[in-house]
Chains A and B, each alone.
Chain A
Amino acid sequence: MAGTQSTSPVRTVDLKVATVRELNQALHELAEDGAETDWKILNAAGNHALAVGINARCRVEIMGHVGYYCAGMNKYATLTINGNAATGLAENMMSGLVRLRGDASQSAGATGRGGLLVIEGNAAARCGISLKGLDIVVKGSVGHMSAFMAQRGRMVICGDAGSALGDSLYETQLFVKGKVVDLGADCIEKEMRAEHVEAVEALLAKAGINERAQAFRRYGSARKLYHFNIDHADAY
């Protein structure tokens, strides 16, 4: 691939020279059970679909802002993005770790099924929408409709949450340190018990974020919408 330097242990791909297709193809050629490799991607320049569909244990560092769906459907890999991310960061990721140093646009971590997504800046609307098992830690705040219809997994929000947090929530657990504008349908505040403090502490430690777990409040599903009931029609 043009734009690739592989003399050092870190394989460097310059997207001023190589194409996104070439980058992704090279990442897809890594064996699922192969030795861990290190990659550095230069000049991300807002390109879409960077490092998507990785299916191998590798470390990828991306320099610059990324476009839509960066790290989409990631399995096993550890990605660090030194910039901001557009829509759908790490959508449907399955495992591994994705760390964003900047801010994320809407639908970050959408439908994610496993692993850990760390956003060191803020996340816009619909962060964690339809979450299915991924853990998300946001150092800043999240926008409206975050965790909409979220099913499994956990979200730790160190800043504030926009309106309609956790609307139509299933079993995802939400932890917010700051203010919540309002809660969505069927989302309620719940008791923060010792096991929840412990879980938040562990997630913050894993994310490398220094916050007091005791300062967080917990939100979850009231489970009143789990079975259709005509007397709840005004909530639908």
Chain B
Amino acid sequence: MTTRYPGLIESHLFSRDVIAEIQRAATEGIYDIRGGGAKRYVPHFDDLVFLGASMSRYPLEGYRERCDTNVVLGTRYASRPIELKIPITVAGMSFGALSAQAKEALGRGASAVGTSTTTGDGGMTAEERESSKTLVYQVLPSRYGMNPDDLRRADAIEVVLGQGAKPGGGGMLLGQKISPRVAAMRDLPPNIDQRSACRHPDWTGPDDLEIKLRELREITDWEKPIYIKVGASRTYYDTTLAVKAGADVIVVDGMQGGTAATQNVFIEHVGIPTLAALRQAVEALTELDMHRKVQLIVSGGIRTGADVAKALAMGADAVSIGIAALIALGDNSPGLDDEYQKIGTRAGFYDDWQAGQDPAGITTQNAELAQRLDPVLGGRRLANYLRTLTMEAQIIARACGKSHVHNLEPEDLVALTIEAAAMAGVPLAGTKWIPGHGL
């Protein structure tokens, strides 16, 4: 590999970035921890394009003809399924990882556009419940803050088996984020590093999980939809087993999902891309004749209405956003670049969400920093962003002749790369070829 230094050749294996990381590890004696999801290139929705209507398809008029976006989740067993106005939900992020102001802002933004937000590993706060019209309560391995009152106060329950950033991994909330309030909610001493377990404490496999779900249904009188969330890895089998265990909704989080902080090597080398996981989940549901009966939510790298539309076209019922929601609140804002530089980073690169020093006041428990985020303004920004995503998805759906975003289908998509064609199960653009499906 050539460099800007004539005559010098940079190693591909031992590039300057790799050398810097080896030397950092040798100095500090610990791996790099960060949030932000997979940063390297992996095949994604950008590698797909829609086939807009033309001679053989009839488009709908933008801004005039209806293109609906509502979605109902939890129709399999729950007596009170939830109905959302848009198919874009806000993913689980804990109070503890996020400030109370950020959690409130997420609730306000989601509620303003008629969608749901989700608790996280640390329990439900009163502010969050109050600000969220539809709130999904997570049941995680740690069970921090778990109690039957909040279970009954929730609109849906999400049993979390894993996250896209770290399938198979637990978590760690550093001591500087364990404020007295966070510690009390988690039954832990303040200021200690707190482990979040990687396995549930009271069930050990899909057969047990089926019984666990039945207990949760009994406690809540079979009212609430129960989601099962998995980090994308063996997604075909996980989806099949989640259906067998009795899920109303399955949430699949691809490796680009990344509000969860963990080791850089874990983020980049464990799990599969959202694109590949989504196709596997839809295949499993279809084979079981459960597609659209058990709803599918996909997350991990959703940024635009095009991403939303592509996920729905591939068979998802809804998508979920995490990183993008934080950015909408103000994370990595260029206006804060001076502050980011003071903590050794730059706007656009900040990913130490575990460290609690967030100048935007989002991923922190520092009261002074947290006060910088106005929950009302933050909520307004998130609502603006969610509306934009929705309108973008509608524009694409209308162009494909669809009167509901759920009418988008794989037939509307082609891939720009062989890898994406293989993962998404759609033809390479200009061909009829789907790798793995013969010619």
Residues of A that sit less than 8 Å from B by CB? 20-21, 24-25, 28, 48-49, 52-53, 55, 67-69, 72-73, 75, 87-88, 91-92, 94, 107, 110-111, 113, 126, 129-130, 132-133, 148-149, 151-152, 168, 170-171, 226-228, 230
Residue of B nearest to A50 (CB): B218
20 sampled A-B residue pairs with Cβ under 8 A: A24-B221, A49-B218, A73-B148, A87-B211, A91-B201, A91-B202, A92-B148, A94-B148, A110-B143, A111-B143, A111-B146, A111-B202, A113-B147, A130-B142, A133-B187, A170-B192, A226-B189, A226-B193, A227-B175, A228-B193
Minimum CB–CB distance for A130 against chain B, Å: 5
Other contacts beyond A171-B189, A228-B172: 8, CB < 8 A: A67-B211, A87-B203, A88-B203, A107-B201, A129-B201, A130-B201, A133-B187, A151-B188
Q: How far is the CB of A101 from chain B (nearest CB, A)?
A: 21
The answer to whether B208 and A130 touch across the interface, beta carbons within 8 angstroms, is: no
| A88 near B202: Cβ-Cβ < 8 Å | yes
B residues less than 8 Å from A25 (CB atoms): 221
Residue A152 contacts which of B148, B187, B195, B208 (CB distance < 8 angstroms)? B187
Once the chains are docked, how many angstroms separate the CA of A52 from the CA of B208?
16
The reply to whether A149 and B195 contact each other, CB–CB distance below 8 Å, is yes
Please give the residue numbers on chain B whose beta carbons come within 8 Å of chain A beta carbons, in ascending order: 29-30, 142-143, 146-149, 151, 172, 175, 186-189, 192-193, 195, 197, 201-203, 208, 211-212, 214-215, 218-222
A48:B202 contact, CB within 8 angstroms: no
The one of B30, B142, B148, B193 in contact with A75, judged by C-beta atoms closer than 8 angstroms, is B148
Cβ-closest 4 pairs across A and B: A53-B219, A88-B202, A132-B187, A230-B29
Grouping DSSP codes into helix (H, G, I), strand (E, B) and loop, the A interface class, with mixed when no group exceeds half, is loop
Nearest CB in chain B: distance from A231 CB, A = 8
In contact, B218 and A53 (Cβ under 8 angstroms) = yes
Chain B residues within an 8 Å CB radius of A21: 218, 222
Question: Chain A residue with minimal CB distance to B172?
Answer: A228
By a CB distance below 8 angstroms, the chain B residues around A91 are 201-202, 215
Question: What is the chain A residue whose CB lies nearest that of B28?
Answer: A230
Known A-B contacts A111-B143, A171-B189, A228-B193; the reply to A55 vs B214 at CB < 8 A is no
Contacts of A111 in B (CB 8 A): 143, 146, 201-202
The answer to whether B219 touches A228 (Cβ under 8 A) is no
